Structure 1
Amino acid sequence: MSLYKKLDNEKFTIVIVGGGAGGLSLLNKLSTTINPDKQSVILIDARPTLMHLPSTLRLVASDTDDLTKKTLHPYGDYTFRNKLAGKGMFIHASVKEIKFGNVEKSGQVILNNGEALAYDILVLATGSTWPRPIAFPTESTNAIVEHIQARRAEFAAATDILLVGGGSVGIELSGELRDAFPSKPITIIHRDIHLLNAAYPDKFRIAIQKQLEDRGITVLTGDAITASDASDVSTSQVPQDGFITEQGKTLKPDLVVPTWGTRPNTSYLPSDFLSSSGHVKILPTFQLPSHPNVFAFGDIIDWNEQKSAAKAAYFHAPKVAKNILLYLNLREKEGRSASIDLLASKQSAKYNGTIEMMVVTNGKASGMGYFAILWGIIVGGWISSLLKSKNLMVSGISGLTGYTPV
């Protein structure tokens, strides 16, 4: 018998896979709306503690603001609040496979420890896989802390740092490193002709580059080194003669850090559920087309928009929560085995996307933001610092997790 059998066979079991900003926002929404006498909720995450993405790059760059203590919030009983207080379950495990039921029938989540967990409703919010500086271990909080300490030591020991990839990770890490090491040579190399990507206007991308260069960070755009060179992050693996870029420049860093883009964390799903980029195909109600009792949202969905924790938490999660409640109500009304079409319901919450917005930090005191409203609004360092850079929204973590650091 599985250790993780259904909490109560008479209840509908809702399983949420992924305890990031999106998954926790959904859990908090459900905690005020579901009926705990009729539904049970289980949260699964590969790590034992929340990794608050906005603060991770400052976390690995230095010990500024004691972020290890402030941002590593372990999951626990306090994660389940309101109607779910004392009635939810957290499981520290990763998902190896999902055995989907037929259409709307219950299925099973197969965990990496071999256990099988039955579900009536499944929600996938597994986010992205990140480049090595913030590719945190999963086995324990101690392992995460060791990873943080190792990255800090690596950056401190380096005399010349090359960041490979000029998206938001490369930009923000360069700013944190400049705060920590005011005179250390730092270079970003980026294959595109401007930083970030074409989802944002050139004016914004060029302004960010100038802001970095004004802080003494070298930015090389329209150039690259090989992926195999970029994957070597140990100082002992960097060639003594350095690298020759595709544009013929010679770079001689003693630390090379991959900061390229993310990939959707969907390796546990069959390929026919995914787009060519590995994203989950969904309906506007966030349901999987072939399995109406399975929802997916956040970074993993196949939707033409830039991925962000803010979108998952503030624009996806509320609609998913509404649709789950509607699904439950219709199933109760029509019968446990009834076929439910949320797309046909005028009450369902359908997602049509949202405006593109981004605030990119450049250390604690600077950064730049873009909001695709009106003519496209760009904000500079002072406003960016107020919105994000100064405190990285750390004060809001407890609202997500229910945990207060001692």
Structure 2
Amino acid sequence: MFQALGSPKGEWPKGAEWPRVVIGGGYAGVRLAKRLDTTARVTLVDRKEVFFHRIASLRAGVRREWSHSPFIPYDRLLRNGRVAVGKAVRVDTTERQVVLATGERLPYDVLVIATGADYPEPARFAGTTAEEAAKAFATHQQHIAAAEHVLIVGGGPSGVELSAEIRLARPDARVTLAHSGPELLHATGSVRAGRKARGWLEAHDVDVWLDAFMSPGNDFGTYRDARGNVIEADRSFWATGTTPNTLWLRLAGHGDWLNASGHVKVDQALRVQGWLDVFAVGDVNDATEVKITPAALAQADLAAHNIRTYLNSAGKHRKEPRFYRPIHRTPLIVPFGPADGVTMLPVPGGETAVLGGRTTTLAKAKNHMTPYMRRRLGYTAA
């Protein structure tokens, strides 16, 4: 969580015209780079050659016609800046440079770490090119098409969505969803939404196991819960959480920037603790426990403002940055395939309105917000 504001390092050298460098081309990184591009030169660094619209990845891992939908080129994102395809391996805070695996050095006046988190298959971008990732999706599709029994472990939004996608694609297969909690979607705090998800899945012949903490069994293709119950499945997918992409920082000697879970420690202005010129936004930081796209976008917007404030003021006239308020309640949409689902909408008083299939279909389920993201990257919605 937020750390107390310490004595910041890294005063910006007056008159420098170095570019802003954003490491990570996910939702937060793209949003922030686009915000800064209007007034400065920006270099966006990402190991992938295309933007990965992860929201569409679960369907892409099941349905062949969606195999290429999550990939959107970066080439129309920035007008004044550029995208550097490569892997960041070191941050030299003394020389203000980011070092890539290729050996290229990128000078910066402000650095933003937006490397996100690593997701379980099939929501992971495999390789570095769209072709490699599409092949990985094709492999998942083939495995699901041939499976007699598919096990999904984890009853949060991703597990529920994936279970529904597999069931609709394979009505003849056995599908089991095992969840360690007492109700599906229980981390959202909406019992009603969890019951709605369970009702839909069971009505479509998905076996739902609750209070079932699963682990691999002794034999290949077997899985065991905490009570000793054994289940056999020829395919399994684990939707049990994410891991921040910060190992590279630890290997580069910046382990002191990370907390025990591997998230980057930031202050209330979303700066890496103790530094004025290094920010961290999105899933990679410890600013909020809610690791969802709306939170990442909100952080990107606030960080863009604070970066401009930092660079455009100095000394006794330096303006104070805005502080980020962690998002604890935000709309959450969980599709059950392309034409149904559940939407949780916070309302005043701490309650949550639960909306059904029509709202969910229009908001997300039909096209997974792909037209919206294409427009954000400079392409037509189609």
The bucket for the TM-score relative to the shorter chain is 0.7 to 0.9
The residue matched to 1:195 in structure 2 has which SS? coil
Map 1:4-403 to 2 at 5 A. 10-32=16-38, 34=39, 39-63=40-64, 66-76=65-75, 78-81=76-79, 84=80, 88-101=81-94, 106-226=95-215, 228=216, 238-239=220-221, 242-269=222-249, 270-313=254-297, 315-330=298-313, 334=314, 345=320, 348-354=321-327, 355-374=329-348, 375-403=351-379
Match of 2:193, as an amino acid? F
Distance (Å, rounded) in 1 between the aligned partners of 2:326 and 2:284: 14
Q: How many angstroms does 1:153 deviate by?
A: 0.8
The residue matched to 2:107 in structure 1 has which SS? strand
Match of 2:324, as an amino acid? Y
Q: How many angstroms does 1:221 deviate by?
A: 1.3
Question: C-alpha root-mean-square deviation of aligned residues, in Å?
Answer: 2.3
Distance (Å, rounded) in 2 between the aligned partners of 1:339 and 1:170: 52
Whether the 8 Å contact between 2:375 and 2:381 is mirrored in structure 1 is no
Q: How many angstroms does 1:404 deviate by?
A: 4.6
Whether the 8 Å contact between 1:98 and 1:268 is mirrored in structure 2 is no
Whether the 8 Å contact between 2:281 and 2:299 is mirrored in structure 1 is yes
Whether the 8 Å contact between 1:48 and 1:138 is mirrored in structure 2 is no
Residue-by-residue CA offset, 1:53-88 (whole Å, 9 max, x unaligned)? 11110011112xx33344311222x2213xx2xxx2
Distance (Å, rounded) in 2 between the aligned partners of 1:382 and 1:340: 52
Q: How many angstroms does 1:405 deviate by?
A: 8.5
Distance (Å, rounded) in 2 between the aligned partners of 1:193 and 1:276: 27
Distance (Å, rounded) in 2 between the aligned partners of 1:405 and 1:68: 17
Q: How many angstroms does 1:248 deviate by?
A: 3.3
Q: How many angstroms does 1:373 deviate by?
A: 2.0
Distance (Å, rounded) in 1 between the aligned partners of 2:217 and 2:371: 38
CA spacing shift, 1:169–1:373, aligned 2, 3 Å: same
Residue-by-residue CA offset, 1:189-248 (whole Å, 9 max, x unaligned)? 11122223434233332332222222211111111232x559xxxxxx834xx3343223
CA spacing shift, 1:132–1:112, aligned 2, 3 Å: farther
Residue-by-residue CA offset, 1:17-37 (whole Å, 9 max, x unaligned)? 1111211111222223x1xxx
Distance (Å, rounded) in 2 between the aligned partners of 1:126 and 1:16: 9
TM-score norm. by structure 2 comes to 0.88
Match of 2:51, as an amino acid? L
**Consecutive aligned runs of 4 or more in structure 1 exceeding 4 Å deviation:** 338-342
Distance (Å, rounded) in 2 between the aligned partners of 1:223 and 1:271: 35
Whether the 8 Å contact between 1:71 and 1:397 is mirrored in structure 2 is no
Distance (Å, rounded) in 1 between the aligned partners of 2:48 and 2:316: 35
Whether the 8 Å contact between 1:179 and 1:364 is mirrored in structure 2 is no
Distance (Å, rounded) in 2 between the aligned partners of 1:222 and 1:114: 49
Query: Percent identity over the alignment?
Result: 29
Residue-by-residue CA offset, 1:315-343 (whole Å, 9 max, x unaligned)? 2222111111111111xxx3xxx69966x
Residue-by-residue CA offset, 1:284-317 (whole Å, 9 max, x unaligned)? 211112111011111112123311112212x222
* Stretch moving more, 372-381 or 54-63: 372-381
* Stretch moving more, 358-367 or 297-306: 297-306
Q: How many angstroms does 1:252 deviate by?
A: 1.8
TM-score norm. by structure 1 comes to 0.83
Residue-by-residue CA offset, 1:88-115 (whole Å, 9 max, x unaligned)? 22111122222223xxxx5222223333
The residue matched to 2:41 in structure 1 has which SS? strand
Q: How many angstroms does 1:168 deviate by?
A: 1.8
Distance (Å, rounded) in 1 between the aligned partners of 2:181 and 2:358: 28
Distance (Å, rounded) in 1 between the aligned partners of 2:119 and 2:35: 27
Unaligned 5+ segments in structure 1 are 1-8, 231-236
Distance (Å, rounded) in 2 between the aligned partners of 1:396 and 1:200: 28
